[in-house]
Structure 1
Amino acid sequence: MSSFKRTTARERGFTLIELMIAVAIIGILSAVAIPAYGNYVTRARLADAYSGLGTVQTAAEEYWSNNRTYVGFDRLPATSANFSYSLTSATASAYVVTAVGRGPAQDFSFTIDQNGGRATPHAPTGWTTSTSCWIDRKDGRCVQ
């Protein structure tokens, strides 16, 4: 006798139920993973503004220690794909620099002042704003 077992139609492939379960599992995982990935990408774009404004603060303090005024300060970060930077006010003793979102980050704006005060004056619908910190999540949590 032959040692080969004869396969029946039932043993050859997946049943329709098994395929439907696999598709349902993929759908559930996608429903969770895609929004989480989108939030992760947004937070990475916002980090561009945080690092740019942090650089501005250091440069502004250096300028003030050399000149004893912020008037004339112009060392702003270069415009990136996500943010442009502008000195929105500068006096002898105070300044405010604003990062305004561009492209995918267009609805965001962040500011920093001479005291290191951070604010999120504008954010997209569904996000919160803050007068005391930079927001990096929809639930209003501040950047540490």
Structure 2
Amino acid sequence: MMLAIKRAPRGARGFTLIELMIVVAIIGILAAIAFPSYQNHVTKTRRADAQAALTAFATAMERHYTENRNTYLGAAAGGANTGAPAIFPTEAPLEGATKYYDLTISAATRNSYTLLAAPKGAQAGDGSLRLLSNGVREWQKDGSTWVEWNN
């Protein structure tokens, strides 16, 4: 008993190798365009999280000011005036497992303070953020010049 093998009709044989390679090339080109754009968006989102954390940190500094006889002094760990904060988390974003910024008090006096968010890990190279007690918000975009950050 012989089995008959049926062949597909001439127009329904599938894709050629050339057609498949063209599709792969198109997908590669789209990925090459989309991935850097995605990475840029992720970096900006992480920076926005750090900006929000600095704003919340400033609120904690104001609370410290009112609770400590109108002074910003002693808000850092161990009652110091600079360094890691004792009154607020030391990393941003505040939620989630991976932290991309270290938060510190870079200067504190009786009547003023400067808060700093320094990038780390995957965010390194994005530039530091700082928030001054007078409301000035700055980003060190190029590593040397401070520019005002916009929300």
Work out whether the TM-score is over 0.5.
yes
Contact 1:112 1:118 in 2 (8 A): yes
* 1:84 and 2:102 aligned: yes
Structure 1 runs of 4+ aligned residues shifted over 4 Å read none
Q: Which residue of 2 aligns with 1:68?
A: 70
> Is 1:103 the counterpart of 2:121 in the alignment?
yes
Gaps in structure 1 of 5+ consecutive residues: 134-141
TM-score normalised over the length of structure 1: 0.75
Identical columns (%):
38
The gaps in structure 2 that reach 5 residues or longer are 1-5, 77-86, 93-98
Equivalent residue of 1:11, what SS? coil
Match of 1:116 in 2: 135
Offset, 1:10: 5.4
SS of residue paired to 2:72: coil
Q: 2:147 aligns with which of 128, 131, 138?
A: 131
Q: Give the CA deviation at 1:59.
A: 0.9
Amino acid at match of 1:71: L
Task: Name the amino acid aligned to 1:21.
Answer: I
Correspondence for 2:33: 32
Change (3 A) 1:69 1:29: same
Report SS of the residue matched to 2:148. Answer: coil
> How many Å separate the matches in 2 of 1:129 and 1:9?
68
- Aligned residue pair count: 128
The 2-side partners of 1:119 and 1:65 are apart by 25
Alpha-carbon deviation of 1:112? 0.4
Q: CA–CA distance in 1 between the matches of 2:141 and 2:52?
A: 18
Q: C-alpha deviations, 1:9-56, integer Å up to 9, x for none?
A: 553121233212211220121112111121122123223311220111
* CA distance in structure 2 between the partners assigned to 1:103 and 1:11 by the alignment: 53
Answer yes or no: is the 8 Å Cα contact 1:68–1:92 preserved in 2.
Answer: yes
Residue pair 2:105, 2:113 contacting (<8 A) in 1 also: yes
SS of the residue 1:29 aligns to: helix
